[in-house]
Homo-oligomer: A and B are copies of this chain.
Amino acid sequence: MELLDGISKRRSVRKFTDQVVDREVLNNLVKAGMQAPSASNLQAWRFVIVDDPLVVKKIKRFSPGLVGDPQAIIIICSDYGYAESRKSGTHYKEYGCIMDASMAAENIMLAAVDAGLGTCAIKSYTEKAVRKIVQLPSDIHLEILLSVGYPDGELRMVKRKPFEDNVHYNVWEKKV
């Protein structure tokens, strides 16, 4: 698939078929995620690939933002302990980790489009419960969940604000 096609075809998918997603396919999504830029190339990102249907179901129970029944969930975390050991400072934890994780997430969601999959980025979950389910150590920070599965049905268009409304040139007052 052409890169720009993938970018424009990505949608937040909330209805999935029951077709299993092979672990090799899931691995390839995460490999695409790891190609994202990483502040100071720290790569503090960590990924938990959840493809055990029981674990998916448990996480769903504590995630109001997770709609539909995905075959898998990719959990993106940041290793704060590792970041600290590299003397990255609080700045990295506050901005770097979340930005790295988000850019990795976008790569994963685009690679998913290329593989015929649908995804949805989820920030609405009970963090304590999800941490317990996947047994995250205390120094591993949970950043975002991505549901993954084959989309069921047509994807609807997303309403986007006009380009001109959001763009300025050189200084704030100058618009199109």
Chain B hits for A4, CB < 8 A? 32, 111, 114
Interface of chain A residues 5 through 53 with chain B (CB within 8 A): 5-8, 10, 12, 23, 27, 30-32, 34-37, 39, 41, 43, 45-52
Q: Is A98 an interface residue (CB 8 A)?
A: yes
| Bound-state Cα–Cα, A9 to B30, Å | 16
Oligomeric state, in number of copies? 2
Chain B hits for A121, CB < 8 A? 37, 39, 99, 103
Q: Which A residues lie at the B interface, using CB under 8 A? A: 1-8, 10, 12, 23, 27, 30-32, 34-37, 39, 41, 43, 45-52, 55, 91, 95-96, 98-99, 102-103, 105-107, 109-111, 113-114, 121, 123, 133-137, 140, 144, 158-161, 163, 166-173
